[in-house]
Amino acid sequence: MTKTVTRSLRGLVAGATIATASVTAPMAAQAEEFINILTGGTSGVYYPIGVGLSKIFADGISGARTQVQSTKASVENLNLLQQGKGEFAIALGDSVKYAWEGNADVGFAAPLDKIRGISAAYPNYIQVAASADSGITTIADFKGKAISVGAPKSGTELNARAIMAAMGMSYEDFSKTEYLPFAESVELMKNRQLDATLQSAGLGVASLKDLATSVPTTIVAIPADVAEKLGAPYLAATIPAGTYEGQTADIPTLAVGNFFLTHADVSEETVYQMTKLMFENLPELVAAHKAATAITLETALNGMPVPLHPGAERYYREVGLIK
């Protein structure tokens, strides 16, 4: 009797083991590839670009599950990459440089040694918009005014700090300094609680389009010699006439390149696929935001501040960009 029960129990255990194996093996074979894309505020350019990439990756990478995370942009994105909390991110070139060096003053307590490059992206134009009622027509007019300089230690705020210093000014010259994302800055300007906002983004950013169509707005010039004082990665640039409602002339400003990034622990195959799919589907990215028209294979390696990920390098060798 005991032997019969024992044999029966063994049979049940063996059967359960076989059943478990038959269930778990297919599940393991269908394991998902999770790709978290770190962007910026929903009213900026990073976010719609991230949404476009999310669809491209989900459609093109077998088993991929993608997510777009809205963040405070460059500095936060880079710190999250270092912590392994994202697989793909967008960040400004000066922020990437500071991250690699470990510049504590701008939000990097130690060098972020896990960051790896995928591609140069498009330039951010530093766009300064003032309400017409404020009387601001130049950066010098910021003195005694209420100004938003972007989210704390975001790429935009780092740009604002650098530009003010190059022009012999600081936040202390303002009557009030607000550290707000793009959309919140615009809402305060509509309500006459702010005089101007500085926003580092692709041309035609939704927040400034909203502002210019809501209240009379002045797009304020940043002189070309500021780019010379600051040096790389800042470049003299132009906001073409007609970019925003009521803007009838070209406006000189500065630009800083953006970069697509990942981290060292993301697999070579995943990064290869992401790089390949991005360049093979650029029209879809342009449909997500016209800033993506500046993303090209020919300029993919221009100014890259960190080492390339092996997966990206593999793709560039495949297409002959790297010999």
**Pair (104, 148) in one structural domain:** no
How high is the pLDDT of residue 231? 86
β-pairing verdict for 33-38 and 217-220: unpaired
> Is 178 part of any domain?
yes
Last residue of one domain, picked from the residues 256, 281, 298 = 256
> Is 276 part of any domain?
yes
**Pair (200, 190) in one structural domain:** yes
Helix segments in the chain, DSSP class H: 2-29, 46-60, 74-82, 93-101, 155-166, 182-190, 206-214, 225-230, 268-280, 282-288, 310-318
Torsion of CA 202, 95, 49, 283, to 10 degrees: 80
**Pair (71, 143) in one structural domain:** no
> Is 23 part of any domain?
no
> Is 114 part of any domain?
yes
Domain of 264 in residue numbering reads as: 33-122+258-318
CATH number at residue 64: 3.40.190.10
Distance CA 197, CA 203 (A): 15
> Is 18 part of any domain?
no
**Pair (279, 232) in one structural domain:** no
**Pair (262, 177) in one structural domain:** no
> Is 11 part of any domain?
no
Last residue of one domain, picked from the residues 216, 240, 256 = 256
**Pair (180, 192) in one structural domain:** yes
> Is 74 part of any domain?
yes
**Pair (56, 105) in one structural domain:** yes
How high is the pLDDT of residue 40? 94
What's the first-to-final CA gap in the chain, in angstroms?
Answer: 76
**Pair (63, 83) in one structural domain:** yes
Report the number of distinct structural domains present in the chain: 2
Last residue of one domain, picked from the residues 206, 233, 256 = 256
**Pair (174, 194) in one structural domain:** yes
**Pair (68, 113) in one structural domain:** yes
**Pair (145, 186) in one structural domain:** yes
Please state the pTM of the whole predicted model.
0.78
**Pair (95, 140) in one structural domain:** no
pLDDT averaged over 10-residue windows placed end to end, the chain, 323 residues? 41 38 34 90 93 98 96 95 98 94 93 98 95 97 97 88 96 97 96 97 93 97 94 90 97 96 98 98 96 95 95 98 95
From residue 48, give the alpha-carbon distance in Å to each of 70, 81, 183.
10, 20, 14
> Is 12 part of any domain?
no
SS3 of 146-161: EEECCCCCCHHHHHHH
How high is the pLDDT of residue 31? 55
